[in-house]
């Protein structure tokens, strides 16, 4: 059967071609199903950034998050951003096709050490999150080299300090250079936050 | 300009759409510099004034074709297109491709007798040589996001009168994709008969 060109069938086939995980996401019935599908979509968007990092080398966190938003958005799933003067970018993920609709909040910034990372986490958990949203998102664009070592140091610092009522040590994330923390929130809920590393280091000639 | 030239426009169009007709001469200080000016290549592809400009961007012809986006009472497509462009720039950044796609979307809707955007219209929105419809879908996704308030996605059954709800579409999608409680053929038969279309949320913008 040849699908009608303007039909739901044609739209779903377009989405499936972009990423089958879109359909996993829209049909998710549990938080776990939704997060698993979103992680898969996010991984593709992060890989797109990393693959084209030379082209994006001049972009700041706003420009980089804009590329991420363009990669992730598809009818039923919108990714938007609000810029703040302190170098942070608020990201909002709205899956408005899901029933019930699901929202994720995030922060994005160029990595500048554990202290600045925790400031971003504070902003995410303290100011914007109500406790109703899904797992939070903290995206770090690493322009420095050795993302592996930097993420390990960041995890160690967080495991030592347990900032923002962090409950226990960092957990592994499905994505590379990424991890998950759990925090006691003022709402009484325990909220997970995914810390996502994106390797945008562009080596200079003579770089070791 | 080194020599005088005469510029004319369609008198009937000008009578009806005075507010939409402007003459911008590239490089002339008399005219304001647009914030989101398209490049010459983009103008050649997407507007009716392509043949007005020579290879150096100088005005060369003595006639003018109407702009692609029609306007009417209420907000009008031109206004909505500008609002949408500002919204997209905030979230997707300053890449001109988003401006071009946005403008093409509103031009397509204004040209459609029912003022709708259909999936098959995406082919005409794509730039020549571009084969990726997902950038267009990303723009549609953001403009259809409920809090954005610019586009609304509708489903209509081909065999029955009336709209089909998003909940119903998601229920069928879940039954096919995740639960496998309906067969491939059953899904295709149903989804192939539901037309998906986008319309402006602001009903005043609809052309009669």
pLDDT tens digit sequence for B164-177: 999 999 999 999 99
User: Chain A residues within 8 A (CB-CB) of chain B?
Assistant: 1, 3-12, 14, 18, 23-24, 26-27, 29, 62-63, 66-67, 69-71, 73-81, 94, 96-99
d(CA A67, CA A70): 5
> What residue of B is the nearest CA neighbor of A89?
B91
Q: Is B195 on the interface with A (CB under 8 A)?
A: yes
Lowest mean pLDDT of A12-16, A93-97, A147-151, B77-81, name the range.
Answer: B77-81
Which of A6, A77, A99 has the CB atom closest to B170's CB atom?
A99
pLDDT in tens, A56-74: 999 999 999 999 999 999 9
Query: Please, which residues have CB within 8 angstroms of residue A18's CB and are 6 or more apart in sequence?
Result: A74, B134, B137
The pLDDT of residue B199 is above 80: yes
The pTM for the full model equals: 0.78
Asked if A11's CB is within 8 angstroms of B196's CB, the reply is yes
Identify the pLDDT of residue B131. 60
User: What is the band of B203 on the pLDDT scale with cuts at 50, 70, 90?
Assistant: low
* Distance between A113 CA and the closest CA of chain B, angstroms: 26
Identify the pLDDT of residue A163. 97
Higher pLDDT, A5 or A150: A150
d(CA A49, CA A44): 9
d(CA B193, CA B187): 10
Higher pLDDT, B111 or B162: B111
Instruction: Tokens 């082209």: give the residue.
Output: A55
Mean pLDDT of all residues in A14-27: 94
Higher pLDDT, B40 or A9: A9
- How many residues make up chain B in this entry? 208
Identify the pLDDT of residue B149. 85
The pLDDT of residue A55 is above 80: yes
Cβ–Cβ contacts within 10 Å for residue A151, how many? 21
User: What is the band of B133 on the pLDDT scale with cuts at 50, 70, 90?
Assistant: confident
* Distance between A47 CA and the closest CA of chain B, angstroms: 17
Q: Is B134 on the interface with A (CB under 8 A)?
A: yes
Q: Which of B146, B147, B150, B192 to mutate to test the interface with A (most CBs of A within 10 A)?
A: B192
d(CA B66, CA B81): 16
Lowest mean pLDDT of A139-148, B19-28, B32-41, B132-141, name the range.
Answer: B32-41
Q: What is the ipTM of this complex?
A: 0.89
- Percentage of chain A with pLDDT > 90? 79
* Distance between B76 CA and the closest CA of chain A, angstroms: 24
Which is it for the CA torsion B208, B156, A33, A20, positive or negative?
negative
d(CA A114, CA A198): 15
d(CA A27, CA B177): 8
Query: Please, which residues have CB within 8 angstroms of residue B176's CB and are 6 or more apart in sequence?
Result: B182, B183, B184, B186, B187, B191
Identify the pLDDT of residue A153. 97
pLDDT in tens, A81-125: 986 656 667 899 999 989 888 999 999 999 999 999 999 999 999
Higher pLDDT, A123 or B76: A123
The pLDDT of residue A3 is above 60: no
> What residue of B is the nearest CA neighbor of A29?
B174
Cβ–Cβ contacts within 10 Å for residue A181, how many? 26
The pLDDT of residue B153 is above 50: yes
Q: What is the mean pLDDT of chain A?
A: 92
What number of CA atoms fall less than 13 Å from residue B4's CA on the CB side?
1
Identify the pLDDT of residue A63. 92
d(CA A170, CA A164): 13
User: What is the band of A30 on the pLDDT scale with cuts at 50, 70, 90?
Assistant: very high
d(CA B197, CA B199): 7
The pLDDT of residue A137 is above 50: yes
Identify the pLDDT of residue B137. 94
Question: Helix A31-51 and helix A61-72: axis angle, to 10°?
Answer: 120
Identify the pLDDT of residue B109. 92
pLDDT in tens, B30-48: 555 555 555 544 444 444 4
| Terminal C-alpha separation, chain A | 57
Which of B62-66, B113-117, B154-158 has the largest mean confidence?
B113-117
Higher pLDDT, A142 or B132: A142
* Distance between B91 CA and the closest CA of chain A, angstroms: 5
| Terminal C-alpha separation, chain B | 42
Higher pLDDT, B93 or A207: B93
Higher pLDDT, B72 or B96: B96
């Amino acid at each position: 059967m040849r699908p009608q060109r303007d039909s739901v069938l044609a739209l779903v086939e377009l989405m499936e071609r972009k990423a089958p995980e879109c359909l996993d996401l829209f049909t998710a019935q549990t938080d776990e199903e939704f997060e698993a599908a979103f992680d898969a979509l996010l991984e593709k968007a992060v890989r797109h950034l990393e693959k084209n990092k030379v082209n994006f080398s001049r972009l700041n966190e706003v420009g980089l998050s804009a590329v991420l938003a363009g990669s992730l958005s598809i009818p039923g799933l919108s990714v938007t951003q609000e810029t703040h003067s302190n170098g942070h970018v608020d990201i909002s993920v709205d899956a408005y096709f899901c029933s019930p609709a699901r929202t994720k909040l995030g922060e994005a910034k160029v990595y500048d050490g554990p202290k600045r990372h925790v400031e971003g986490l504070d902003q995410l958990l303290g100011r914007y999150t109500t406790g109703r949203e899904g797992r939070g998102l903290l995206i770090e664009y690493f322009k420095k080299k050795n993302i592996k070592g930097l993420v390990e140091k960041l995890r160690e610092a967080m495991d030592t300090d347990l900032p923002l009522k962090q409950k226990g040590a960092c957990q592994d994330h499905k994505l590379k250079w990424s991890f998950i923390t759990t925090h006691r929130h003022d709402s009484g809920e325990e909220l997970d936050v995914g810390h996502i590393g994106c390797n945008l280091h562009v080596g200079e000639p003579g770089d070791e | 300009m080194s020599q005088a030239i005469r510029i004319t426009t369609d008198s009937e169009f000008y009578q009806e759409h005075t507010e939409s007709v402007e003459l911008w001469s590239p490089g002339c200080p008399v005219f304001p510099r647009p914030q989101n000016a398209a490049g010459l290549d983009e103008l050649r592809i997407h507007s009716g004034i392509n043949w007005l400009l020579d290879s150096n961007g100088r005005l060369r012809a003595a006639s003018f074709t109407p702009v692609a986006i029609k306007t009417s009472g209420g907000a009008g497509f031109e206004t909505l297109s500008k609002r949408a462009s500002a919204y997209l720039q905030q979230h997707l950044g300053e890449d001109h491709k988003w401006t071009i796609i946005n403008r093409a979307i509103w031009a397509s809707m204004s040209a459609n007798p029912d003022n709708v955007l259909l999936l098959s219209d995406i082919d005409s929105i794509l730039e020549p040589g571009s084969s990726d419809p997902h950038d267009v879908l990303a723009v549609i996704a953001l403009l259809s996001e409920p809090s954005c308030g610019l586009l609304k996605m509708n489903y209509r059954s081909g065999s029955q009168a009336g709209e089909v709800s998003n909940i119903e579409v998601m229920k069928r999608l879940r039954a096919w994709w995740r639960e496998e409680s309906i067969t491939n053929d059953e899904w295709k038969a149903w989804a192939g008969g539901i037309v998906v279309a986008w319309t402006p949320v602001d009903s005043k913008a609809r052309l009669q």
